[in-house]
Amino acid sequence: MNIQESKLGENFHKTQDMNELTIAEDPKQIIWDMMTSFSERTWSARWASGLEFLLWEKVRSCSDDLTLREIADFNFYAGLAGGWWMWDKVQKSEVFVDLAQWQIIYSDYITATS
């Protein structure tokens, strides 16, 4: 078997250089898939209202609603992609925002809802 073809876990591949790992899939897409999967299994909706805020809090607080693997994956892929998905009311669609922008949005949300 070619080293490049050997799969490590679900989303990593070894390259010819044995010390280098590359991501086989877009980390932004992986986060989106995980978020919509959580929403579908929890509320039977692809994107429940407020999902981005609720899920961010669940990941940060290590909620029992998520497995340890899900928490680790959310943290890993958000860090790797450098952002988080959120609902844009103007575009009426999910948009990816960088982590610095997301943290401001999340902080404003917490302030407004407290």
Give pLDDT, residue 13: 45
Cα dist from 22 to 1, 15, 26, 38, 66, whole Å: 18, 7, 11, 26, 26
Q: Which long-range contacts (CB under 8 A, 24 or more apart) does 51-58 make?
A: 51/87, 52/84, 52/85, 52/86, 52/87, 53/106, 53/109, 56/84, 56/102, 56/106
The overall average pLDDT reported for the chain is 85
Q: What does the pLDDT look like over 74-108, one tens digit per residue? A: 999 999 999 999 999 999 999 999 999 999 999 99
Residue 7, pLDDT above cutoff 50: no
Of 79, 69, 73, nearest in space to 102 by CA: 79
Element (H, E) at 12: strand 12-14
Q: What does the pLDDT look like over 10-63, one tens digit per residue? A: 444 444 454 555 555 799 999 999 999 999 999 999 999 999 999 999 999 999
Cα dist from 17 to 10, 83, 90, 101, whole Å: 19, 28, 45, 35
| Residue keyed to tokens 């992609």 | 81
